[in-house]
Chains A and B, each alone.
Chain A
Amino acid sequence: DAKTTQPPSMDCAEGRAANLPCNHSTISGNEYVYWYRQIHSQGPQYIIHGLKNNETNEMASLIITEDRKSSTLILPHATLRDTAVYYCIVRGYETGANNLFFGTGTRLTVIP
């Protein structure tokens, strides 16, 4: 699976949009982009995933560039409860999971 690069930390004002970038320049055609988050000491929580097209759900939007080498997770109206570590993961479609790689993520702090 392609590895990802994320900034180690970001701040965002409460009520503003939080835009979290992820670089995955070695991604291949059948690899999905996933986003998870981990609120302090809890188990990671699935947010969203996509293959080529932009995706939106009740939690967030995922924007994937046309060349698929980078993506951005958007939390449209950040709240204090969105303070967490956000992981960008790239994973292939093939059966198996022994190369699933979480990395160290981006620590997002939402400021009142």
Chain B
Amino acid sequence: NAGVTQTPKFQVLKTGQSMTLQCAQDMNHNSMYWYRQDPGMGLRLIYYSASEGTTDKGEVPNGYNVSRLNKREFSLRLESAAPSQTSVYFCASSEAAIGGAEQYFGPGTRLTVT
């Protein structure tokens, strides 16, 4: 049981390049989330998927797109990377997107945009 896995662990992009961050969970959870964490800051929600087939914007969605590929997988795409998107990205999952449901986090992807 691996929990939440993320790939890649590290990535360096040039401004304007695109990439997709992958996330998978093996806990049969319905809800999945993408966060970003900038140095010295708390986590900010980018997008979430309450259930398979649905996605919704979080606090900071601009510049990102997401795809809930199936119940296990939730990807985050940067279409045209900008230096302001340099951050650590965390994926998380929970049984449901409601209060009372704890979230389990992946190890993170460290992205640098030059």
Contacts of B103 in A (CB 8 A): 36, 44, 46
Asked if B108 and A32 make an inter-chain contact with CB atoms under 8 angstroms apart, the answer reads no
Asked if B106 and A97 make an inter-chain contact with CB atoms under 8 angstroms apart, the answer reads no
How many B residues are at the interface, by size bracket?
20 to 34
The complex places the Cα of A91 from the Cα of B103 at a distance, in Å, of 12
Asked if B100 and A41 make an inter-chain contact with CB atoms under 8 angstroms apart, the answer reads no
Asked if A100 and B58 make an inter-chain contact with CB atoms under 8 angstroms apart, the answer reads yes
Interface of chain A, main secondary structure: loop
A-B contact pairs, 5 of them (CB 8 A): A43-B90, A92-B99, A94-B98, A95-B96, A97-B33
Asked if B99 and A44 make an inter-chain contact with CB atoms under 8 angstroms apart, the answer reads no
The complex places the Cα of A55 from the Cα of B2 at a distance, in Å, of 28
- Given known contacts A94-B99, A95-B50, A95-B97, is B107 in contact with A105 (CB within 8 Å)? no
The complex places the Cα of A93 from the Cα of B48 at a distance, in Å, of 16
Asked if B42 and A103 make an inter-chain contact with CB atoms under 8 angstroms apart, the answer reads yes
Contacts of B86 in A (CB 8 A): none
Q: How many residues of A contact B (CB 8 A)?
A: 29
Contacts of B48 in A (CB 8 A): 97-98
Q: Which residue of B lies closest to A1 (CB)?
A: B99
Contacts of A44 in B (CB 8 A): 43, 90, 92, 103, 105
Q: Which residue of A lies closest to B103 (CB)?
A: A46
Q: Which residue of B lies closest to A30 (CB)?
A: B99
Contacts of A98 in B (CB 8 A): 45, 48, 56-59
CB distance from A50 to the nearest CB of B (A): 10
A97-B33, A102-B43 known, 18 other contacts, Cβ within 8 Å: A31-B99, A42-B107, A43-B4, A43-B105, A43-B108, A44-B90, A44-B92, A46-B104, A51-B100, A92-B99, A94-B99, A95-B98, A96-B98, A97-B48, A97-B58, A98-B45, A100-B33, A100-B58
